[in-house]
Structure 1
Amino acid sequence: MLDKQVCRNIKMVLLDVDGVMTDGSIFINKDGEFCKSFNVKDGLAIELLRSHNILVGVISGKASAALDTRCKHLGFDEIITGCKNKLPALVDICSKYNISPSQIAFLGDDVLDIPIFEKVGLGIAPVDAHCLAIANSDWVSTLKGGEGMVREFVDLLLINKLDLPLKDIYKPLLDKIRYDDVAIMEQ
């Protein structure tokens, strides 16, 4: 269970990618290009956070064109890739947005994420994370990385943060979609 007071304090959600937004598989084609599979449900979770003015970013140990494309498509506020030591990136993000680590939730799945878990307000792991990551997290998803665990966490975070039913949490996102549809139909 998530602590409501901690959730109310969260202003930013940061994500590792491989093993969180993906199942950890990396496909390499004959030209050496990396391909990754992302869960569309997690993408909608990013939009939902943004509709509630919560900053969203990525701090990933790996870098690839596939990752850059997905992050840019989702409109992340911060995209930091190829970053093995994530703590300096966390410090820079906190300084840039004038927030403290306690106002950040970080979703990670491996031992490289433990130092971040120890600093942030919420450390979140998928059910298939490394056992040490799970032991150092504040909450463990019922889902594996790449199977919608980001969405599961975001729903729970916002329920606790906003103290609203789920249908009301999705209202700003749905209203935006409805408004955009009306604008398109009027053209």
Structure 2
Amino acid sequence: MILNYEHSLLEKASQIKLLICDVDGVLSDGKVYFGNEQEELKNFNIKDGLGIKLMQKNGITVAIITGRQSNIVERRAKELGIEKVYQGRSDKRATYQEIIEDMGLQKEQVAHIGDDLPDLPLMKRSGLGICVNDGYYFVKQHADWVTPSNGGSGAVRDVADLLLTAQGKLPNIQAEYLQ
């Protein structure tokens, strides 16, 4: 599927140097499974993982801010080389500000992808606010862009394709795989 992006969206996406992701409902499908032995299970999409790796390889930092605390998230972030992982953050706004100040970025250089009300303040503070396709309707109404895919089903890969297209890098990345 080839997406046709609006010019104004591509303009915003061309400036992004940092993508901040929520976890439940974005990197996972939002379902949390609890086992009898206190274990917690989530699923993650491999396409999202490759999208994250491609962004990192091409100068876009990926960070995680989530309100929940989970060893699974720590493990997945480590597998993907995501160094900026902030869990158990009830005040996501303070963490957001900490990250962009630490990195010396302006809000226009930041994208945030979320799915529900706690993500809305970060989406509105960012240069590019993104909601997953199956996100809460009110959040979708206030997003700059809604991904074609659902959370945990390739939505972060959709974002990677958007950002890398806007920054003129996706065709070369794809061409490498044809060789």
The letter of the residue matching 2:84 is E
The one of 31, 34, 49 aligned to 1:25: 31
Preserved contact between residue 28 and residue 34 of structure 1 (Cα < 8 Å): yes
Give the corresponding residue for 1:71.
77
Report the identity percentage: 33
Q: CA deviation at 1:170?
A: 4.0
SS of the aligned residue for 1:9 comes to coil
Q: CA deviation at 1:116?
A: 0.6
- The alignment status of 1:5 with 2:18, answered yes or no, reads no
SS of the aligned residue for 1:38 comes to coil
Alignment deviations for residues 22-80 of structure 1 (CA, whole Å, 9 cap, x no partner): 11010111111211100010000110001101111100111111111101111113100
C-alpha distance in structure 1 between counterparts of 2:150 and 2:90, whole Å = 22
C-alpha distance in structure 2 between counterparts of 1:101 and 1:60, whole Å = 19
Q: CA deviation at 1:171?
A: 5.5
CA RMSD of aligned residues (A): 1.8
C-alpha distance in structure 2 between counterparts of 1:119 and 1:167, whole Å = 30
The one of 53, 58, 62 aligned to 2:64: 58
Give the corresponding residue for 2:41.
35
Preserved contact between residue 107 and residue 127 of structure 2 (Cα < 8 Å): yes
Q: CA deviation at 1:21?
A: 0.8
The one of 95, 100, 105 aligned to 2:106: 100
The one of 125, 134, 149 aligned to 1:143: 149
- The alignment status of 1:49 with 2:55, answered yes or no, reads yes
Structure 2, gaps ≥5 residues long:
none
Preserved contact between residue 36 and residue 66 of structure 1 (Cα < 8 Å): yes
C-alpha distance in structure 2 between counterparts of 1:31 and 1:72, whole Å = 24
Q: CA deviation at 1:7?
A: 1.4
C-alpha distance in structure 2 between counterparts of 1:91 and 1:130, whole Å = 24
C-alpha distance in structure 2 between counterparts of 1:119 and 1:126, whole Å = 17
Give the corresponding residue for 2:95.
89
C-alpha distance in structure 1 between counterparts of 2:65 and 2:107, whole Å = 14
TM-score, normalised with respect to structure 2:
0.90
SS of the aligned residue for 1:137 comes to coil
The letter of the residue matching 1:138 is D
C-alpha distance in structure 2 between counterparts of 1:39 and 1:148, whole Å = 6
C-alpha distance in structure 2 between counterparts of 1:49 and 1:169, whole Å = 10
SS of the aligned residue for 2:162 comes to helix
TM-score, normalised with respect to structure 1:
0.87
- The alignment status of 1:110 with 2:116, answered yes or no, reads yes
Larger radius of gyration: 1
Give the corresponding residue for 1:183.
none
SS of the aligned residue for 2:14 comes to helix
Q: CA deviation at 1:92?
A: 0.4
